[in-house]
Structure 1
Amino acid sequence: MAKIDPAALQQFKSEVALKFQLYNSLFTSLPFHRIEKTGILLSVLLNVCEEGYKKKKTPLQILDDFFASHTSFRTEQEKADLLFRFVQYVERQVVLFDALEDAAFSKINDFSGPGTLKQLASFLQQPDLDTSQLEKNPFCVRMVLTAHPTQFYPGSVLGIIHDLAKALQENNTSLVNSYLQQLGKTPFFKKQKPTPFDEAMSLIWYLDNVFYPAVGKILSYADSELAGKVNNNQPLLQMGFWPGGDRDGNPFVTADTTIQVAAALRSSIIKQYYLDVRRLKRRLTFKETDQLIGDLEKQLYNEVFGEQPSRSLSADSMIRQLQQVRDTIVLQHNGLFADRIDNLIQKIRAFGLFYASLDVRQDSSVHESFFEVISQSGNIFSGLYSSLTPEERLDQLSKLPALATDPTFREAVHADTLASVKAIARIQQENGEIGCHRYIISHCTSAANVMEVFGLFLLGGWKKEELTVDIVPLFETIEDLLQAGAIMDALYQLPVYREHLKRRGDKQTIMLGFSDGTKDGGYLMANFSILQAKKELTALSAKYGLDVLFFDGRGGPPARGGGKTHKFYASMGKDVSSKEIQLTIQGQTISSNFGTIDAAQFNMEQLLNAGLSAAAKHSTRATLDQGQEALLLQLANDGFNAYSALKNHPTFLEYLSHASALRFYAATNIGSRPAKRGSATRLSLSDLRAIPFVGAWSQLKQNVTGYYGVGTALKLAEERGEWKKVKEMYQHSLFFKTLIDNCEMAMLKCYFPLTSHLADHKEFGEIWHMIYSEYELTRKYVLLLSGNTELMADYPVEQLSVSMRERIVLPLTTIQQYAITRVRELEAGSPHDPAAGMKTTYEKLVMRCSFGIINAGRNSA
């Protein structure tokens, strides 16, 4: 049972809920067209929606009633204009709510309480605690900012949110009013699709404004308070980066893009160092230090404003210079401002000249087709690549010569595949080895898929003895997770690959993805399969004398590995390698969990605490005991069968496409990647990316991927007489408890009255009832487990936040469903219908509603 903090709830009510009502009134003065009436009408619409759904009305009926009873608008264009104004208004209400939560973060959360580094420091002081493993083994949390831009706010709006939160913190009503007016005039909609470089620059904004100061604060504290208890051979926090390197299914990412993004990362971190050194120079005015700090300032100035990056600048040389300054200050000036020098040294250790380590990712099918083309054009292989046996592939890929000249390829993706390994070499020269040292293989299904990347580097001119790159297989579908152990076993037995690992410090990084696993096998099976794969790979790697590092591909919502992430890591026992915590942080989760320095510091400390305390506490305990594991396997299988029945329903994807915003995702201009892999015109589940799949269910307020199959599994357990065992597992297994907690979060964001009109639909009524029945069943059994009468009752602050956000966007979800219905009607109707020309308008309305709905959900896609 979670410990409820009444003071935190009261703080939230006064600092967020009450202030939202107060500041919301300022919107009446926002510079919209006819805004004074829009604000009044929107509150009327919210009331009409709530009353209409109680009477089981459809979104179409609700809005028709609203227009007829509360407006004089009768033409389609007039109605659409008002709906667009409502969208604008609600978008900005969501921004206000975001800013209020950001401003209140440090008041609501206890920075000395559970999960913080202060609490960890006290915990590690216990005399009977064995911290030898922490002192011996280096540990770090690596957060990888990803190119999944479900964050719809453009950079200009992010800046306003940042400033608005600060003004709200200071209760500066005049400034708040000014920023709200600025918000009213600032466009939210991106007219053009962002390029991968645009995505990179938007995330570099977070590096500059949030992660750079937050990481510095945490590392400085750890260096002083955890010294001697935790190994500090490597920084406790490291940053990774995907925009510009992640080319999986993204034709817009090229080798040139990768080089350009790496250069932007390098120049951005040097600018931060330059600014910090300038600030230091204002304090270190002593005659023994001003020359030393002045020299460093000049070096950084030349890097920032010079035409070419210097080869002489290095992180090590900067640290040496700063250490010399620090020694002088300690000896001659009583250590005055030494803490500021320490802070900068910690930042340089963490960020180097690379800022965030740029990962390259490509799909295994691209590598296979690349080698097929190569095999057709020369004598590199003993025959066509497709005709080789698996053993022949492994053998021949490990012996490839460097290409004398680059071949001419028909397809640009194959030319880029070869160019990318040369780009990595260039980045390592300019940013340092850690600046780009990982190549990730999506949909890895064989040992040959890993060796294809090894062979690719050999073709690109790398010598196997000097290959300073980690090859990282990504296992994601349920089948791939089951095969992961066998694939890695084959690789570990391959002498050439084992030698490569030896040169890489006897470490193998393996990426495990939640998104496609959930899409493929449902919520319970995906989480259980990933846990089982981790346990198997941990034991297998230890057998070969290797350290395995797990890199989790997590998104924001529970369906994609999100939710209470730190609790998952805290629940890991001795049977899962915990040398590092590595996870992706995608766009929307960056802004919601790491959008301010306070929030970033708090959530990074939670991850650090989870990993370090788990290493100290659970050194002799497994994640699940044998009985729990057998029980969870049965639950996962039952959940999988239920989800598979839904997924295999003949109208499954048609239903989602018909009822949700899925078909409009590609036109929202939210990201550089297409909404699906491949070029096939017919939609298939395997090609559909996880973000539009999960996001569409989220906007539909059905969140299927976050709970479907859980209720059926729990009901069957009860029928088998195992309910007592399930209850005990819920009470004693943090892993299972966290699974259920996150399931509750997904369900709290559901609202079935929005789509209840589909219950009687001739084609889709059956599948709607399947989903609603499973929701009700899951809700019943989850509440039985928790002993509560409401979802998320153990987390009242989050519960209230979700409830308020869902109410704010209820008009948007209604408008979106109304617009989707009108698009369908116009597509089915006569082209001579007077309203036929409105189809494009309603399609735009569907897209615009997506922005506010997903931003309000914070971790909904």
Structure 2
Amino acid sequence: MTSIVQLAPRATPDAGFAAPMITGTEPDTATEILFQSLLDVCRRHQPELEGVLKGETDIAGLSPELMGRALQVQGIWFRLLSIVEENTAMRRRRHAERTLGRAEVKGTFSSVLADAVAAGVKPSEIHTLLRELRIRPTLTAHPTEAKRVTVLEKLRRIYLDLRELELPRWTERERVALIADLRDQIELIWMTGELQLEKATVVREVSWGLHFFDESLFDTLPEVLDSLEASLAEYYPDETFEVPAFFQFGSWIGGDRDGNPFVTSAVTRTTLKRNGRASMRRFRTRIVDLGKLLSITERSLPTPISFRKELTARLAASGEGQAIEARNPGEHFRQFQTCILRKLDATIERNKEEPVILPGPFYVDADELINDLKALEQGLVEAGCRSLAVNQVRPVRRMVELFRFSTVHLDVRENSTRTTNTLREMWAAIEGQSADQAPDVESREWRAWLTSELSKPRSTPRRLDGLSDDSRETLATFALVAEMRTELDREAVGCFVLSMTRSVNDILGVYVLAKEARIYLDSPGVEICQLPIVPLFETIEDLRAAPAIMKELLSIPLVRRSVRWQGGYHEVMIGYSDSNKDGGYFASNWELYKAQAKLTEVGEQAGVPIAFFHGRGGSVSRGGAPTARAIAAQPPGAIRRQYRVTDQGEVVSFKYSNRGTAAYQMELTAAAVIQHVLSSQKERAAARPEYDDAMEALSGASRAVYSNLISHPGLVEYFQNASPLDELALLNIGSRPARRFGARTLSDLRAIPWVFAWAQNRHIITGWYGIGSALKNFIDVRGDEGEALLKRMFEQSKPFRLILDEVEKTLRMVDLSIAREYSGLVPNEAVRDDIFRMIEEEYALTCEMALRVSGGGEIAFRYPAFRERLAERLPVINQVSHEQVELLRRYRGETDEFKREEAKSALLLSINCIAVGFGATG
């Protein structure tokens, strides 16, 4: 039997699937097996669509029902192709490691440490880095994931079947059975349906997030730490390193209430409880397994005296010591494990939605369980069973250190409008006046009131009458944070993210709200706030104001004391999405770069280092980029051993659905952070001011051109008509509304649907518009020297190169012939022609200038794998795009309710299919 290898689908001239070439009687490659299995399912359920699957039938002539099925089968095929690609990438990495060594696999710890040793990095530098290293990807429920959990589970099963089929050990009978199971999973996906029939709930989003921990992250994250330990031992063999639990996960799911009325304090409570039980139950499973292993009798191995003392104390505290000893007489390690298990069971019961209080002890927090596992580990070491301690107990202890009693650090996010309204009502209740009489929030009077509130002791709650429901809910959220940090786990809540931060007063207001809930270390509430308050700067204006705001904030003693207690770093979140929507792709990236560089200097001058939380999305327009290159392109010194980033929607599925990929993605992130930290000093010394000057000029020129487009009086009309903007809300892929406050203007439209809709209509202006004009203007003004400078920057400047590379990838996805069809949906001819002309001219110029600077022969020529992958999908995507135009026209113009519903179903499937084909939504 030939082993499975990737075979790219063969391109056909037909406007449909690029069907794989199948030779012989039995399919043998992964692509062939999946295609044949999908074809079998199609023949069984909808034989009329076999021609569509083979690329022989145009879907345009199909009935609405059949068109919907055709769109579904196309979406399924895209997902299956992605599985093949993921599996192939994993096999290539393993092959490279086997044949060349781990250090030759890019993005691994071995690769980075090999470079570090070659560069003369001393062990002391590694010790310092490890002590302060903190990496926290943060899962968000932003509505960018079009896959249901039940579909994710079936796709996972298909991936596992493919992996099994690679093994040569199977008989032909067993191989046939594996293919049959794979075919069953595809059939179940066919019958399950791709679309959410109802609006997603927050509780369902929580289940979606926990799915990835249950499937891969609980088991693979500890292995990432083991990988770093092994690499350190290899490259620094004379040193002993302590690798802390530096890599943990955050989450916004169930805590992000910014513009989402469905995230209440009650929902957040449920989320925290569910997150806690998820990790506790996984710990329980592993501890039960330990009990099965540790059947060590005192007759065969004497128990160390120190461990006997530990065991005696645990047995006495359990209240069931005699029963535990009688059950496993002489098996002291198993008795100790039983004490841990019963205490953990009691803890799980106490943290249910309706808790059952069991007699006997329970764990107050994860630290107690960690200490028990350390005692068990040390007991085995002292008994001469170091291998058992290291290989069996330590992985469980490390898992608890990583996930604690919370699985994730749940952040709470709210916008400054909501917090300010709550504070104004509090002022009114305290001062005995109406809220509209409160001082202006930027006035000296308002600052004086905030400062006064922060200086007053507060040991007991106070009564605040006359608050609105919204304000009471805001205060209830802070009270919940205080409660859960005490009752569940001190790290259950990560931080409070304040979006739409405009001033220091906005941030100090959150300190007042935290004080009202008594989230302070000292009982009077005047010294140290335990909850990190993280300002989020999103628009270009906000990014430019951030350094001055943070300079003033870091001069306030309360803030400095709190940050010192919280770990010594003040975190600042920066938003990629809104800055892109505000100023275009180039200006957004440069303003983000400048803000980080300036904020880093502010932190250094204040003696309070600033760490950045990157609000990235999956698409290029929302900060999506190859992980290692995106980290490398940050300003030198901006990653001060602390790195946080959001993982949203389809990014989460791509990274964490399968264990091998998840382990690689986590190691890739951590290794890139380590490399950036180790190389920052050298890169700072090699700074090129002329590059910064050029970036500033290019940014200003590109933003001017972009602003000219989005300020066009007809743009909103054009965008709404020439894209499925309004129809995206019907997809039910997220619980959050598309607009923050329900208005109907471009300014309050969230960045996700802004990007999503421009991608659907194939304009994708959010990833390139304005850059061609900027490059041309730069060369026109500076002549040959300017062009030579840009070419040097393309080779030597990481941020400039990253921008140009991602622009070219985006340009490859644009199709203006299809975009013109979408523009035909705009009834206002003058608006339609004017805006499309602007886009058409800028697109041509951007393609021309990108090639001129890069020296390439065709767009994205440096990325053959990307071009090949896109070429496999474009025939189908293009056909679906053509049909989506007609479906939009039919859906918007249909008066018959039954026919309108038919068109709607097919339309939503077309949106889903295009998103899956491109691998990203918003």
| 2:864 equivalent to 1:796 | yes
| 2:614 equivalent to 1:546 | no
Q: How does 1:180-579 map to 2 (within 5 A)?
A: 180-226=186-232, 232=242, 234-287=244-297, 289-304=333-348, 307-308=355-356, 312-330=363-381, 331-333=383-385, 335-336=387-388, 338-379=390-431, 384-387=437-440, 390-400=443-453, 404-407=461-464, 411-462=468-519, 463-579=525-641
Q: Give the CA deviation at 1:466.
A: 4.7
Higher-RCO chain (CA-CA 8 Å, sequence separation at least 6) = 1
Q: Give the CA deviation at 1:526.
A: 0.7
SS of aligned partner of 2:146: coil
Q: Which residue, 752, 755, 760 being the options, matches 1:694?
A: 755
Q: How does 1:737-816 map to 2 (within 5 A)?
A: 737-757=801-821, 761-816=829-884
| 2:791 equivalent to 1:727 | yes
More deviation in 607-616 or 764-773?
Answer: 764-773
Q: What CA RMSD, in Å, does the superposition of the two structures yield over aligned residues?
A: 2.7
Q: Give the CA deviation at 1:431.
A: 2.9
Aligned to 2:304: none
Aligned to 1:39: 50
Aligned to 1:581: 643
Distance change in 2, residues 1:481/1:658 (3 Å):
same
1:418, 1:177 → 2: CA distance?
A: 52
Distance change in 2, residues 1:108/1:817 (3 Å):
farther
Contact 2:347 2:363 (C-alpha < 8 Å) held by counterparts: no
| 2:721 equivalent to 1:658 | yes
Q: Give the CA deviation at 1:22.
A: 4.6
| 2:92 equivalent to 1:108 | yes
SS of aligned partner of 1:661: coil
Contact 1:39 1:89 (C-alpha < 8 Å) held by counterparts: no
One-letter amino acid matched to 2:191: K
Q: Give the CA deviation at 1:419.
A: 0.6
Q: How does 1:155-166 map to 2 (within 5 A)?
A: 155-166=149-160
Distance change in 2, residues 1:283/1:684 (3 Å):
same
Contact 2:597 2:635 (C-alpha < 8 Å) held by counterparts: no
More deviation in 110-119 or 814-823?
Answer: 110-119
1:308, 1:788 → 2: CA distance?
A: 67
| 2:675 equivalent to 1:613 | yes
Aligned residues: 817
1:694, 1:824 → 2: CA distance?
A: 22
Name the TM-score, length of structure 2 as normaliser: 0.84
Rg comparison, structure with higher value = 2
- Structure 1's unaligned 5+ residue stretches are 1-8, 49-62, 72-78
Aligned to 2:899: 838
Contact 1:266 1:431 (C-alpha < 8 Å) held by counterparts: yes
Contact 1:102 1:599 (C-alpha < 8 Å) held by counterparts: yes
Q: Give the CA deviation at 1:654.
A: 1.6
Q: Give the CA deviation at 1:668.
A: 1.4
1:545, 1:631 → 2: CA distance?
A: 31
- Structure 2's unaligned 5+ residue stretches are 11-18, 21-28, 166-177, 298-331, 520-524
1:574, 1:280 → 2: CA distance?
A: 45
Contact 1:424 1:437 (C-alpha < 8 Å) held by counterparts: no
Q: Give the CA deviation at 1:735.
A: 2.0
SS of aligned partner of 2:533: strand
One-letter amino acid matched to 2:617: G
1:282, 1:125 → 2: CA distance?
A: 43
Distance change in 2, residues 1:439/1:694 (3 Å):
same
Q: Give the CA deviation at 1:185.
A: 1.5
One-letter amino acid matched to 1:314: D
1:135, 1:532 → 2: CA distance?
A: 30
Q: Give the CA deviation at 1:158.
A: 0.5
Contact 1:240 1:357 (C-alpha < 8 Å) held by counterparts: yes
SS of aligned partner of 2:906: helix
Q: Give the CA deviation at 1:460.
A: 2.6
Q: Which residue, 137, 144, 155 being the options, matches 1:150?
A: 144
Q: Give the CA deviation at 1:569.
A: 1.2
Contact 1:635 1:713 (C-alpha < 8 Å) held by counterparts: yes
| 1:413-472 Cα shifts (integer Å, max 9, x gaps) | 222111110010111013322211411110101111101101111223342435210010
Distance change in 2, residues 1:825/1:381 (3 Å):
closer
Name the TM-score, length of structure 1 as normaliser: 0.89
SS of aligned partner of 1:649: coil
One-letter amino acid matched to 2:50: G
2:638, 2:268 → 1: CA distance?
A: 33
Aligned to 1:4: none
Distance change in 2, residues 1:11/1:628 (3 Å):
farther
Residue identity over aligned pairs, in percent, reads 24
One-letter amino acid matched to 2:333: T
Contact 1:220 1:342 (C-alpha < 8 Å) held by counterparts: no
Distance change in 2, residues 1:725/1:232 (3 Å):
farther
SS of aligned partner of 2:363: coil
Q: Give the CA deviation at 1:33.
A: 8.3
Aligned to 2:31: 20
1:805, 1:639 → 2: CA distance?
A: 31
1:19, 1:808 → 2: CA distance?
A: 20
1:321, 1:657 → 2: CA distance?
A: 60
| 1:64-97 Cα shifts (integer Å, max 9, x gaps) | xx42xxx6xxxxxxx2112111122112212212
Distance change in 2, residues 1:477/1:127 (3 Å):
closer
One-letter amino acid matched to 1:292: F
Contact 2:83 2:159 (C-alpha < 8 Å) held by counterparts: yes
More deviation in 357-366 or 811-820?
Answer: 811-820
Contact 1:559 1:694 (C-alpha < 8 Å) held by counterparts: yes
Contact 2:276 2:406 (C-alpha < 8 Å) held by counterparts: yes
One-letter amino acid matched to 1:636: S
One-letter amino acid matched to 2:904: E
2:590, 2:768 → 1: CA distance?
A: 14
1:159, 1:443 → 2: CA distance?
A: 37
Q: Give the CA deviation at 1:382.
A: 11
2:886, 2:439 → 1: CA distance?
A: 51
SS of aligned partner of 1:535: helix
Contact 2:763 2:815 (C-alpha < 8 Å) held by counterparts: yes
Distance change in 2, residues 1:711/1:734 (3 Å):
same
Aligned to 1:135: 127
Distance change in 2, residues 1:461/1:580 (3 Å):
closer
Contact 1:661 1:846 (C-alpha < 8 Å) held by counterparts: no
Distance change in 2, residues 1:268/1:406 (3 Å):
farther
Q: Give the CA deviation at 1:782.
A: 2.0
Distance change in 2, residues 1:781/1:191 (3 Å):
same
Contact 2:416 2:501 (C-alpha < 8 Å) held by counterparts: yes
2:498, 2:671 → 1: CA distance?
A: 30
Q: Which residue, 73, 76, 88 being the options, matches 1:92?
A: 76
Contact 2:109 2:228 (C-alpha < 8 Å) held by counterparts: yes
Q: Give the CA deviation at 1:168.
A: 1.5
Q: Give the CA deviation at 1:505.
A: 3.7
SS of aligned partner of 1:332: coil
Contact 1:508 1:547 (C-alpha < 8 Å) held by counterparts: yes
1:166, 1:501 → 2: CA distance?
A: 45
Contact 2:138 2:249 (C-alpha < 8 Å) held by counterparts: yes
